[in-house]
Copies of this chain bind each other. A is one copy, B any other.
Amino acid sequence: MRLLIAEDDKLHRSFLEGVSRDTLPELDELITAADGEDAIAAFGASDFDSVVLDLQMPKVTGVEVAKSIWARKPHTKILFWSNYTEEAYIRGITKIVPPEAVYGYILKSAPEEQLKLALQGVFIAEQCVIDREVRSVQQRAGDRLSGLSELEFEALVDLCLGLTDKAIAARRHVSLRGAQSRLQHLYQKLGLEKGDLPAGPWGPSFNSRTRAISLALSQGILNADALRREEKNLQDWLSSQGE
């Protein structure tokens, strides 16, 4: 068994390394990487069947690392080890996990015992181990009523990137009104009712467009990291339009 660990925080990395050595008797080799780029490079340089990924890393996100890994070897077992249950990450993961892959998702705040169980569960027993909290977010995202549909999520991303209605329409290949329609549905789902706030004598308190961003951020549906990532996609699209 050959294990790759990618984690930027020094302490967490060495802690994880120690626990892995104690918990996985069949361990033949263990390599660590301090950021996403290194992780991808290391994975290409050697032959791993198991990987532990922190999600929040400099340069390249854990999600992107996973995508690159699974694209090359879909049967690689991956355990995600992260601080938060950001919906953006969870969405990203469930979208890229291949059907045959074994993976797990555990929080750093979990007790050491749970980490050990997850390591053994995913890498030895080959079962999917998903933290309870993460699971609940995952379900909520999949639920049509409380969660956002994929289309609405796209709209949210574009909105947060600062695009205009027209630009959203162009990017997603719908009419102007279509884009606006998606936005309206989004507003509703986020809990942005028109008469929600008792507008004072100085008019309505909230601008729907910006308030939506605020709500999405505070609800953890998006975060600054996810935005930076999407910004890249946007730039790619923009330059492809310029041709």
Residues of A that sit less than 8 Å from B by CB = 9-12, 15, 108-109, 159-164, 166-167, 169-170, 197-198, 200, 202-215, 217-218, 220, 223-224, 227-228, 231, 238, 241-242
Contacts and interface: CB of A to CB of B under 8 A. Distances in A.
Contacts of A214: 160-162, 227, 231
Contact of A200 (B208, B223, B242): B242
Q: How many copies does the complex hold?
A: 2
A76 to B, nearest CB: 27
B218 A231 contact: yes
Contacts of A159: 210
A160 B210 contact: yes
Contacts of A160: 210, 213-214
A138 to B, nearest CB: 20
Contact of A164 (B9, B12, B203, B224): B203
5 contacts: A162-B208, A164-B205, A167-B202, A223-B224, A224-B224
Contacts of A241: 200
Contact of A163 (B207, B215, B228): B207
Contact of A167 (B164, B205, B231): B205
B203 A167 contact: yes
B209 A207 contact: yes
A44 B228 CA distance: 41
A228 B219 CA distance: 10
Contacts of A213: 160, 162, 210, 213
